[in-house]
Structure 1
Amino acid sequence: MADWKTTYTHFLKQAKEDIRDREQLGDLLVQGERALAKVTVDVASNEISNIEREEELTLYFQMKQMLNMLRALYNEQFEMQADKQEELVAAILYFVSPFDAIPDDVPLGLFDDAQVIDYVHEQLASDIDRFHNDM
């Protein structure tokens, strides 16, 4: 099993290609919203601990921000440097993929997704602040 950083690098390479394909970005937005809906169901479940719920809520809100940014980029309402856009797309690709460092359908399967989203969220902090101020 690869670690999340190695797997994220794979998705970063894919993002460099996908960022140029408008149809791919539109599909990614739909996939991201579907994956986020699954997190919502998990958070509402009585089968997870309060610690897991807190982690998944953080993941949910960070991912929601990133999807909103991607939507604004897609609709040409917001601009970012190309390398930052690639990081954003790579994080979302990682989140929607069931084939990452820890498969999403096993216990704690979203742990690696949360690490990637948190890492990229920190990398994009200035862009996220600017996005919230501009929008």
Structure 2
Amino acid sequence: MEFVPGDFKSAYTYFHRQALALVGDHKAQEDLLIRGEVGLAHLTKDIASEEGSDIEREAELVLYFQLKQLLEMLRALYQKRFSMKEEQEQLLLTAVLYFTSPVDALPDENVLGLFDDAQIVESIYEELAADVDRFQHLE
């Protein structure tokens, strides 16, 4: 592993480098899309559970909606119904890779395990705002 647990910057850099190898790789994107959908289903289950505070549930809902949008964009890229600049596609892939990895800055089994995922996804979602808007207007 090329990053130190608890270090957001090195974890982000690690997944961002991995994402570069997935740009244009149809099979790898298909696999990532499947892992993302499974992760989204687990997140849905967490949101629906009685456990956790309203604040945690709100943060999970934001993560859910942002990730759902990014996965829809990835599916459209995979199906060649949408295109992005390579750098933007790499960001999109970074967000999904980070979310689907059980080992990142804060391991997912940790009480705050989704905190880092939410921060990364939100940051990338904001960076991709123009692409997200363009995608939403295609549908």
Same fold per superposition (TM over 0.5): yes
The partner residue of 2:99 within 95, 98, 105 is 95
Q: Does 1:26 align with 2:2?
A: no
Q: Deviations over 1:23-44 (max 9, x none)?
A: 1100000000000111111101
Cα distance in 2, alignment partners of residues 54 and 5 from structure 1: 25
Question: Equivalent residues in 2 for 1:19-98 (5 A)?
Answer: 19-98=23-102
Q: Paired residue for 1:108?
A: 112
Q: TM-score, normalised by structure 2?
A: 0.94
Residue ranges of structure 1 left out of the alignment (5+ in a row): none
| 3-state SS in 2 of match to 1:14 | helix
Q: CA deviation at 1:64?
A: 0.1
Q: Does 1:124 align with 2:128?
A: yes
Displaced runs of 4 or more, over 6 A: none
Q: Deviations over 1:67-108 (max 9, x none)?
A: 000000000000110000000001100000001000001111
Q: CA deviation at 1:18?
A: 1.3
Supply the RMSD in Å over aligned alpha carbons: 0.8
Residue identity (%) = 50
Cα distance in 1, alignment partners of residues 33 and 67 from structure 2: 11
Residue ranges of structure 2 left out of the alignment (5+ in a row): none
Cα distance in 1, alignment partners of residues 112 and 49 from structure 2: 14
